[in-house]
């Protein structure tokens, strides 16, 4: 039986507090280093720095690149620049985060380090599997392969004793979410004005709440957290939303694994099927793009589907509007995760154990505090991002080239840990009932119908300028 690392067997900080401290320090480090390296000229020019100011920390982290015939190709970028050192340093960052978390929580560092190094290597293996070109182009993202690597080890040879102290999957996911907060910028919400807001902010919450309610009350799925994770990953933005809401509602590892599997399966199917359908049904390209952005779970798959549609129609607008609508949905993750955490702490968990003290005191007691770190990182970076063109490029440089890569490594190794601690047998009842699959399908049907209606209303009619010939 693997050692289950819980927040209660601690001598130092609580797991959530440690995640906030480690994640917050990493975001602060990225910002400070980025500020010290600000360019002397054109510091506010998006044209000069399309992805923000270059951040020196970018040289300290990378991941295996796409490869088709030989995995050795993954160790260099498209221009042939070797990436072995940044990839190894990426693993070192993970070891550092695990060591920092262990130190803050009063655990023995020598006991954690060997396991942390092994887990980082397994994370690298998962990234390598995800980087295979065909896998990469059909959006089968790294969490799936990280879970697979972990499952194979946990369900064959089991967990060696020396690895147990480093199995801190939940801590890595929480720290990764705090770092992720820096990428969730509220200013992005306004990128497509009112039509973009209506398409994302009206449809997404309706679909999320309706799917959750239907799963719990009509389909009688026993696990409310499973219903929530499926509803969030299907209605918001796939794996990233599943991770954030799963942590907010304390979903089981098996539930998160199942929701991610469902999401990736349907993402591939929708990415392939929707562009030809839009063309066949003669849906307006801009409406079609908004529909893709509002319904396909994963961001990369949305852009790929938009590109396919655009190529078929010889029009770049579907890809652009699809990506922008999805980015607006990405920016909702913080608010959704916070709302789910409040609802869970105040109503769901309270209901299951009966009232003891006041609602507020009980809710605060159960509230997953790391969500505050996630929201704080988001608010601070959003504030900085809106101050001036220079600060926008400063934040973009720190997030696009460093924190997003670091967050990827933390999630990847976090999922390896979760896979190792997941027992196949516990997944069986979920799979056998078929109800989670049905819930996903029904929710996605509602999402498709409402998103098409709202995209037609906003991008196709209400806010469409009449183009004079």
Partner 1 sequence: MITPRLAGPLRLAACAGMVALAWLVVLPWVGRLPPMKQHVRAMDDGEVNPAAMVYTELERLPLRPDWADREIVLWP
Q: 3-class DSSP state for residue 192?
A: coil
- Count CA atoms closer than 13 A to 40's CA, side-chain side: 0
Judged by CB under 8 A, which of 117, 121, 135, 313 binds partner 1?
135
Residue with tokens 């990378």: 62
Tokens of 401: 């080239």
In whole angstroms, the minimum distance from the beta carbon of 271 to partner 1 comes to 8
Judged by CB under 8 A, which of 85, 152, 361, 449 binds partner 1?
152
Nearer to partner 1, 126 or 340 (CB): 126
In whole angstroms, the minimum distance from the beta carbon of 141 to partner 1 comes to 6
- The answer to the question of residue 386 lying near partner 1 (CB under 8 A) is no
**Per DSSP, which regions of 247-306 are E strands?**
none
Give how many residues touch partner 1 by CB under 8 A.
69
Nearer to partner 1, 151 or 249 (CB): 151
The total of other beta-carbon atoms located within 10 Å of residue 450's CB is 20
How many whole angstroms separate alpha carbon 417 and alpha carbon 119? 8
- The answer to the question of residue 455 lying near partner 1 (CB under 8 A) is no
Residue with tokens 């890809």: 319
- The interface mask with partner 1, positions 35-54, x = CB under 8 A, is -----------x---xx---
In whole angstroms, the minimum distance from the beta carbon of 84 to partner 1 comes to 20
Residue with tokens 């929701």: 259
- The answer to the question of residue 1 lying near partner 1 (CB under 8 A) is no
How many whole angstroms separate alpha carbon 314 and alpha carbon 432? 45
- Count CA atoms closer than 13 A to 13's CA, side-chain side: 16
How many whole angstroms separate alpha carbon 196 and alpha carbon 332? 12
Considering only CA atoms, which of 401, 419, 394 is closest in space to residue 142? 419
- The answer to the question of residue 400 lying near partner 1 (CB under 8 A) is yes
Q: Which listed range, 236-244, 250-258, 334-342, 352-360, lies at the site for partner 1 (CB under 8 A)?
A: 236-244
Judged by CB under 8 A, which of 105, 107, 188, 385 binds partner 1?
188
Tokens of 50: 């399309």
Nearer to partner 1, 104 or 327 (CB): 327
Whole-number CA gyration radius for the chain: 22
* Cα separation values, 208 from 36, 203, 235, 440, 446, Å: 42, 9, 6, 11, 10
- The interface mask with partner 1, positions 344-383, x = CB under 8 A, is ----------------------------------------
How many whole angstroms separate alpha carbon 453 and alpha carbon 295? 12
Nearer to partner 1, 211 or 399 (CB): 399
Judged by CB under 8 A, which of 321, 332, 336, 381 binds partner 1?
321
Contact 408, 62 (CB under 8 A): no
- The interface mask with partner 1, positions 434-453, x = CB under 8 A, is --------------------
- The interface mask with partner 1, positions 56-75, x = CB under 8 A, is ------------xx-x----
In whole angstroms, the minimum distance from the beta carbon of 149 to partner 1 comes to 9
- The answer to the question of residue 288 lying near partner 1 (CB under 8 A) is no
Contact 262, 256 (CB under 8 A): no
Judged by CB under 8 A, which of 230, 248, 298, 363 binds partner 1?
298
Backbone angles phi, psi at 204, to 5 degrees: -55, -50
Contact 245, 263 (CB under 8 A): no
Tokens of 205: 């919450």
- The answer to the question of residue 389 lying near partner 1 (CB under 8 A) is no
How many whole angstroms separate alpha carbon 204 and alpha carbon 249? 18
- The answer to the question of residue 465 lying near partner 1 (CB under 8 A) is yes
Judged by CB under 8 A, which of 1, 40, 72, 134 binds partner 1?
134
Residues that bind partner 1 (CB under 8 A): 46, 50-51, 68-69, 71, 129-130, 132-142, 148, 152-153, 156-158, 180, 183, 188, 191-196, 237-240, 271, 286, 298-301, 303-304, 307-308, 311, 316-317, 319-321, 323-324, 326-327, 330, 396, 399-400, 404, 408, 459, 463-465, 467
């Amino acid at each position: 039986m693997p050692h289950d690392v819980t927040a209660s067997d601690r001598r130092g900080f609580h797991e959530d507090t440690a995640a906030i401290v480690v994640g917050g320090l990493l975001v602060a480090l990225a910002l400070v280093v980025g500020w010290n390296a600000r360019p002397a000229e054109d510091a506010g020019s998006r044209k000069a720095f399309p992805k923000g100011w270059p951040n020196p920390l970018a040289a300290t982290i990378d991941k295996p690149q796409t490869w088709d015939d030989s995995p050795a190709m993954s160790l260099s970028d498209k221009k042939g620049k070797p990436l072995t050192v940044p990839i190894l340093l990426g693993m070192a960052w993970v070891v550092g985060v695990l060591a920092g978390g262990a130190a803050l929580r009063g655990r023995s560092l020598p006991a954690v380090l060997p396991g942390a190094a092994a887990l980082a290597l397994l994370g690298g293996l998962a990234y390598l599997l995800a980087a295979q070109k065909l896998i990469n182009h059909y959006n089968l993202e790294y969490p799936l392969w990280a879970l697979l690597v972990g499952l194979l080890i946990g369900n064959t040879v089991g967990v060696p004793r020396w690895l147990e102290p480093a199995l801190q999957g939940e801590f890595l996911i929480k720290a990764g979410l705090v770092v992720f907060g820096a990428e969730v910028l509220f200013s992005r919400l306004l990128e497509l004005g009112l039509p973009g807001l209506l398409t994302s902010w009206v449809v997404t919450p309706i679909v999320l709440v309706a799917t959750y309610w239907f799963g719990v009350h009509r389909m009688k799925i026993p696990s409310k957290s499973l219903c929530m994770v499926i509803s969030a990953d299907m209605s918001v933005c796939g794996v990233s939303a599943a991770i954030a809401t799963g942590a907010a509602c304390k979903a089981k590892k098996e539930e998160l694994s199942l929701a991610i599997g469902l999401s990736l399966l349907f993402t591939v199917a929708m990415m392939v099927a929707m562009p030809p359908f839009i063309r066949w049904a003669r849906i307006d390209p801009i409406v079609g793009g908004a529909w893709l952005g509002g319904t396909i779970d994963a961001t990369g798959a949305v852009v790929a589907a938009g590109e396919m549609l655009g190529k078929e129609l010889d029009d770049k607008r579907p890809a652009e509007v699809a990506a922008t609508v999805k980015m607006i949905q990405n920016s909702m993750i913080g608010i959704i995760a916070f709302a789910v955490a409040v609802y869970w702490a105040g109503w769901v968990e309270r209901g299951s154990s009966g009232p003891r003290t006041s609602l507020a005191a009980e809710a605060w007691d159960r509230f997953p505090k790391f969500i505050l770190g996630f929201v704080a990182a988001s608010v601070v970076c959003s504030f900085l991002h809106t101050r001036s063109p220079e600060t926008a490029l400063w934040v973009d440089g720190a997030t696009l080239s460093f924190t997003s890569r670091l967050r990827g490594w933390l999630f990847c190794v976090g999922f390896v840990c979760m896979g190792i601690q997941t027992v196949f047998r516990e997944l069986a009842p979920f799979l056998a009932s078929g109800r989670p699959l049905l819930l996903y399908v029904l929710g996605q049907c509602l999402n498709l119908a409402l998103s098409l209606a709202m995209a037609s209303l906003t991008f196709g009619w209400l806010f469409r300028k009449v183009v004079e010939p």
